[in-house]
Structure 1
């Protein structure tokens, strides 16, 4: 983290990224001294409510973060920044987004956890728009113009007030990752499934080391001491109460329970009861250390694409086993009326034998199990995510794949990613194709 004193002393000349979080109530004019170099400006975690009208003087600025501040509207001056492509105003008090605030090269917009009731039609006139984060607002409709955003791949509209998913959204040719939980339009979770899961008293659990933390909660290793049984090692996820970019953590927990059991899902042992602070949590299968994340999260540059380690390589057998496993669990979830919403390599754990587990239900949503055009579209949107994943696996196979197999797998990638949403195969058909290769 950079300091205001360093900035004012001229010690940050030539800086490409500036991070300032120090209780700012006004934009420091000294930032303009970096205009010849500054590309990323992060002013999150301050008390700002406005930005200077001449912000466009930062002619190289590509990324602007102003989350966790006091803005009540998105500043119009943001739209005057000619090179700006990524804008983040998460967790402010924003009620209004003026059309003038949308920069012409906008690619990635984050407005999660605000008070927005309506978006300008001009949003659909940003042809580069690829990633749109709108969860936790008060939207009752989406601009019809979004149907023109043919590059849009990821949209988060969870926890709003939407009564329907517009047809134009479900027909977007590149839409791949969609989260819409917590809106009136969403089907209800199966109450019987939620009630059938075991209740595990908090006093039977002894937390050990922390295994990880995400936007929705913290995971610990724990010892579970059931009465009259030998202790067992498990993982415990304690959910946070705050809104995430994907939606509500409690909704994630319900989706995780409703998903049921499958060899390629992390097994849920039960739901925590009697936590002293009333915190919600799940007890889950502890994953063996041989498993690791398939990929890392997308970067600012890659936007919607995962980052793979340069050394990541698979045998053909391992890659095909992973592909079959993920297709199988995708079909299972769709039969339960669940779309995962975040089918990505970074949410998959794998080992060198090709065994894999799909995790992180933060973007999961419920849909009606009936076979309707809307249901098929929702499911085929997720099939596109699988197509991208399959292509990433194909690119990293180092041995064992014949030219004929490669050709058939590449054809499957094309089928899964074709622009006509309803012409894509379902996961059951994808699984059949993979078993035939």
Structure 2
């Protein structure tokens, strides 16, 4: 973290990135001294409520983070920032989003956890828009102008007041990752299934070292003292109960339970009761240590696409095994009335043999199990996500793939990603194609 003292002393001259979280109540004028170099500005975690009207002087600024501040309106001055592509104002008090506040090259907008009731029509006039994070607001509808955003790939509108998904939304040619849980429009989870889940008293668990932490909670290795049985090593996920960019962590917990059993899902052993602070949590099977993430999270540059280690390579057998398993588990989830909403390489654990597990249900949403145009369209958005994943695997196959087989896989990948949503194959057909190969 940079310091205000260093900035004022001129020690940060030429910096391309500046991070300041030091109780700022006003925008430091010295930031303009970096106008010729500054590309990423992070002012999150302060008490700012305004930005200077001449922000346009930061001519190289591409990324601005102002989360966890006191803004009540998205600053109109941002609309004049000619290079700005990413804007993040999570967890403020924003109720107004003027159309004039949207920069012309806007690609990624984060307004999670605010008080927004309505979005301006100008949002649909930003042709580069690719990623839109709106969970935890008070939206009752989305502007119809968004139907013109043909590059839009990811939308998070969970925990709002939407009573329906507009028809045009499910026809967007590039839409791939959609989360809408916690709105009045959503089908309810199976309450009987939730209530029948095994309950595990907190006192029966002995927490050990943390295994990881995400936006929705912390995962620990633990020992479960099972009555009448030997102690069992497990993983315990304790949910934070706060709004994330995907939606409500408690909704994620319900989706994990409702997903049921599948060899490519991490098995849920039960839900935790009697936590001393009332914290919600799940007990899950412990994943073997030889499993690792298939990919890394998207970067500021890649926006909606995962980042893979430069040396990641697969044999054709391993890549096809991963692809087949993910198609199978996606088909299983759709039968349960669940769209995963975040089908990405970074949410897949795999080992050298190609065994894999799909995790992270933070963006999962429920839909009717009965066949309808809407349910089929929702499922085919996920088919596009699979198509993106299949393309990433194909790029990294280094052996065992004939030219003929590669051609068939590339054709399948293109069908999964084609712009006409309803003309994409379902996962049953995808699985059959992969089995034939």
Normalising by structure 1, report the TM-score: 1.00
| Residue matched to 2:227 | 227
CA offsets per residue over residues 342-368 of structure 1, 9 Å max, x none?
000000000010000000000000000
Instruction: Classify the secondary structure of the residue corresponding to 1:409.
Output: helix
Q: CA deviation at 1:166?
A: 0.4
| Residue matched to 1:356 | 356
Does residue 381 (structure 1) correspond to residue 372 (structure 2)? The answer is: no
1:398-437 equivalent positions in 2, closer than 5 A: 398-437=398-437
| Residue matched to 2:128 | 128
1:196-207 equivalent positions in 2, closer than 5 A: 196-207=196-207
| Residue matched to 1:45 | 45
| Residue matched to 1:112 | 112
CA offsets per residue over residues 267-303 of structure 1, 9 Å max, x none?
0000001111111000001000110000000000000
1:190-201 equivalent positions in 2, closer than 5 A: 190-201=190-201
Q: CA deviation at 1:70?
A: 0.1
| Residue matched to 2:23 | 23
| Residue matched to 1:217 | 217
| Residue matched to 1:84 | 84
CA offsets per residue over residues 144-185 of structure 1, 9 Å max, x none?
000000000000000000000001111000000000000000
| Residue matched to 1:333 | 333
Q: Which runs of 5+ in 1 are unaligned?
A: none
| Residue matched to 2:240 | 240
More moved, 192-201 vs 48-57: 192-201
| Residue matched to 2:322 | 322
Q: What's the RMSD between the two structures over aligned residues?
A: 0.5
Normalising by structure 2, report the TM-score: 1.00
| Residue matched to 2:270 | 270
Instruction: Classify the secondary structure of the residue corresponding to 2:211.
Output: strand
Q: Which runs of 4+ in 1 moved over 2 A?
A: none
CA offsets per residue over residues 377-423 of structure 1, 9 Å max, x none?
00000000000000101111111111111011001001100000000
Q: CA deviation at 1:195?
A: 1.3
| Residue matched to 2:35 | 35
| Residue matched to 2:8 | 8
| Residue matched to 1:279 | 279
Distance in 2 of aligned mates of 1:240 and 1:203: 19
Distance in 1 of aligned mates of 2:85 and 2:24: 24
> How many residues are paired up?
437
Distance in 1 of aligned mates of 2:182 and 2:23: 33
Q: CA deviation at 1:228?
A: 1.8
Q: CA deviation at 1:311?
A: 1.2
Q: CA deviation at 1:197?
A: 1.1
Distance in 2 of aligned mates of 1:402 and 1:26: 61
CA offsets per residue over residues 94-137 of structure 1, 9 Å max, x none?
00000010000000000000000000000000000000000000
| Residue matched to 2:163 | 163
Distance in 2 of aligned mates of 1:198 and 1:348: 26
Distance in 2 of aligned mates of 1:227 and 1:152: 51
CA offsets per residue over residues 12-65 of structure 1, 9 Å max, x none?
000000000000000000000000000000000000000000010000000000
| Residue matched to 2:94 | 94
| Residue matched to 1:312 | 312
Distance in 2 of aligned mates of 1:228 and 1:33: 69
More moved, 193-202 vs 18-27: 193-202
Q: CA deviation at 1:259?
A: 0.1
Does residue 288 (structure 1) correspond to residue 301 (structure 2)? The answer is: no
Does residue 173 (structure 1) correspond to residue 165 (structure 2)? The answer is: no
Q: Which runs of 5+ in 2 are unaligned?
A: none
Distance in 2 of aligned mates of 1:197 and 1:357: 21
CA offsets per residue over residues 210-261 of structure 1, 9 Å max, x none?
0000000000000011112111100000000110000000000000000000
Instruction: Classify the secondary structure of the residue corresponding to 2:129.
Output: coil
Distance in 1 of aligned mates of 2:158 and 2:41: 27
Q: CA deviation at 1:196?
A: 1.7
Distance in 1 of aligned mates of 2:51 and 2:383: 42
Distance in 2 of aligned mates of 1:35 and 1:80: 15
Instruction: Classify the secondary structure of the residue corresponding to 2:147.
Output: helix
